[in-house]
Structure 1
């Protein structure tokens, strides 16, 4: 017997975890989605053992100290992974969601890419700190993941608002790549979870913006999803109107894709994240 998932096709969610506040925000969001869709939530810790134990040149006579230092750092990393499990397990039990915790050792990017092909949705912070045992600053895992995965992703800011599932805003430029994210948002069933869908397209050509939102609206209608069409004339920048809408209405989610032209391509090399997620408190759904 197949369990009905409340109009969602998501069976499993992967949440890679580090020790940052971005992970806590991601855990809250992933738990919300799991509770709403009945999908199983998989937490994941990664101890970057290769980075800790790699051999480096040391002054003569310091090898013993170096080995002891590596053992100490490695223990710290595994202790941090244990703490992540405790946090994950406590939240899953409180929320009464199906869950499982995965422990990995290795390069964080490689381990996440290998694991996420087994799951339907990746939830990850917009900044990552997976090298928590060897460095305190942000690592480059997020950048590598966004360039490598073809799974749908929820990208979470640090100060994410609680996901009320009230309104999702879909942005489109009419490109094939943009439409891919919209299609996956619908096919995963996530679009059915939101009370209101607003489709925004901003362009220096208002006719083009109107055509963009009309195309998405017609696609959504084939899935019995109603939306509000919002074409915007924006002569200077395509993103200020979207940011303005979020500041005024505080939607639960931004749906966007890898646009064919313009600034959104910058997202996958990192600069777009700070430009948008630094100005809104909502997660981003995207798919390549």
Structure 2
């Protein structure tokens, strides 16, 4: 939408060049998602474009139709998107056949706050200087093919409230510096190849409401500091790992908990009787462990 459609009769030249370069990098657009992107017309009339500062583009949204077979875009993400210097949000989701490495042009967008580049085929390592994206508030690379470790510099993203790196091929351990992300409310590292123990960092993350670490290779026990999240945590998913020991009694204090998934680990002993206190639980999965009777009535 345009704040001032009359003033924004045409794209700013830099924005138009960047967007048309992105379009030229797309080799296949079977659903015509980008068909409205034409030189000499108002940016805000193009599908997926938001202009809120005169003729400058502030948000770019290109999303595939996941329910329509064969409708996905193919191609690469042009680095010329760096020309969109007023961009504060980029949403490239469910395009499926978009390939290439981590988009380095993100580092050249000074106003960028929201990044959702999900369910594509981007690959390769995450850049070691990812922490220089210090203005980012929400960052999701879910459902790509990124490899290698989570860079330690991620601890510099202190404005983050949402971090989603789920569904990639990341390896190594969780950097302990993630404890610096004190505004975090949503953390998803599930569906990777991470290993080691889960660091005992959660006292430093008082806003955390959703923690997803499932489908990795974590071992050891659940860290004690998870207990500090009892007042607000709603989703705790650590299924399909190699966690062991007894199910901690402190989980019974999570009165806001909606989903608890401890499945397919090596937890032993009995289910705590105090789980009866989890009155808001909707999804409880304790399957495929080494638990013994009696199950609390």
Sort the TM-score into its range (normalised by shorter chain).
Answer: under 0.3
Using CA pairs below 8 Å that are at least 6 residues apart, which structure has the higher relative contact order? Answer: 1
Which structure is higher in helix share? 1
Which structure is higher in strand share? 2
Larger Rg: 2
Normalised to the residue count of structure 2, the TM-score between the two structures is: 0.25
